[in-house]
Amino acid sequence: IYASDASEGLLDKIQDFLNKFSDAERYYLFKNKPSYYIIILVPNLKDFVKLVPDPRIGGFYAHQLRALICRDTGYTLRHEFTHALHLADISARRQSHPIWITEGLSTCFEDSELRYGNVVPKYNGRIDQMKELINTGKSIPWQTLAKMDQKAFMEKPQECYAEVRAIFYWLDKTNGLKTFYYTYLSDL
């Protein structure tokens, strides 16, 4: 269900893109299609700021409401929509995943393109952030990152998002993401 004050042409483009993006992500990883409607709300910037006053937040997906709210139709929309598809997949499996996986998947696909019906993650600035964390000795040890709950993860968002993006981008580029995901699903 789409709600936006965007022009009808832009709204049609958003719907068309999300249909193709959904098909590509479901083909690649998320086999379980949502069994419910997802509300996609893309308000103008003025209205978005009323809903989400924190300027660091570009959007969010509230699974309990089945609602996605974002201020842009690119990077943030892909990130949050990946959350919606991932959560639909694991909900059908009666599973939950730690934040490093949920954010790792969403950051992996936030900057991606559709190529011949496939979703292909692209290099982005989070990889540069990760390189800087390594070069300055400020990266978070893997054992610590993997044990973080949402509160701890959000206390260091720059570092955590960069690190999980680097991990999942690497998994994708080495053709290991699908194997990792399905192995993780079967081990729960």
Percent of the chain as helix, strand, coil, to the nearest 5? 60, 10, 30
Task: Kindly list the distances between the CA atom of residue 11 and the CA atoms of 111, 114, 180, in Å, as whole numbers in the listed order.
Answer: 20, 19, 35
Structure tokens at 55: 């300027």
Which of 181, 165, 170, 150 is closest to 25 using CA atoms?
181
The one-character DSSP state at 156 is S
Place of tokens 């690649």: 28
pLDDT per residue rounded down to tens, the chain (188 residues): 998 888 888 899 999 999 999 999 999 999 999 999 999 999 999 999 999 999 989 999 999 999 999 999 999 999 999 999 999 999 999 999 999 999 999 999 999 999 999 999 999 999 999 999 999 999 999 999 999 999 999 999 999 999 999 999 999 999 999 999 999 998 76
Can you give the pTM of this predicted structure? 0.95
What distance in Å separates the CA atoms of residue 111 and residue 129, rounded to the nearest whole number? 15
